Amino acid sequence: MSGIDEPGTPPEVPQEYADVYRDAYERALADGDLADELMATSVVEREPAERPAWLVPAAIGGALVLVLCAFVLGKMLSSDDTSTDTVGVTAPTTKVPPTGQTTPTKKPTPSKKPSPTKKPSTKAWTGAVTPVAINAVTATCTSAPGVDSAGKTVDYEAANTVDGDPSTAWRCDGEATGTKLTITLPADTQVGQVGLIPGYAKTDAKSGADRYAENNRITKVRWTLADGTVIEQKLDPSKTDRKIQLMRVPRTATGEVTLEILAVDRGSRNTTAISELQVFAAE
Q: What is the pLDDT of residues 133-178, one digit of tens each?
A: 999 999 999 999 999 999 999 999 999 999 999 999 999 999 999 9
**Domains of the chain with bracketed CATH:** 1-41 (no CATH), 129-282 (2.60.120.260)
Q: What is the pLDDT of residues 22-50, one digit of tens each?
A: 666 666 566 555 445 545 444 444 444 55
**What pLDDT, on the 0 to 100 scale, is given for residue 85?**
41
Its pTM stands at 0.58
Q: How many Å separate Cα 182 from the centre of its chain?
A: 43
Q: What is the 3-state secondary structure (H, E, C) of the chain?
A: CCCCCCCCCCCCCCHHHHHHHHHHHHHHHHCHHHHHHHHHHHHCCCCCCCCCCCHHHHHHHHHHHHHHHHHHHHHHHHCCCCCCCECCECCCCCCCCCCCCCCCCCCCCCCCCCCCCCCCCCCCCCCCEEECCCCEEEECCCCCCEECCCCCEECCCHHHHHCCCCCCCEEEECCCCCCEEEEEEEEEEEEEEEEEECCCCCECCCCCCEHHHHCEEEEEEEEEECCCCEEEEECCCCCCCCCCEEEEEEEEEEEEEEEEEEEEECCCCCEEEECEEEEEEEC
- Residue ranges in the chain modelled with pLDDT below 70: 1-121
**What pLDDT, on the 0 to 100 scale, is given for residue 2?**
45
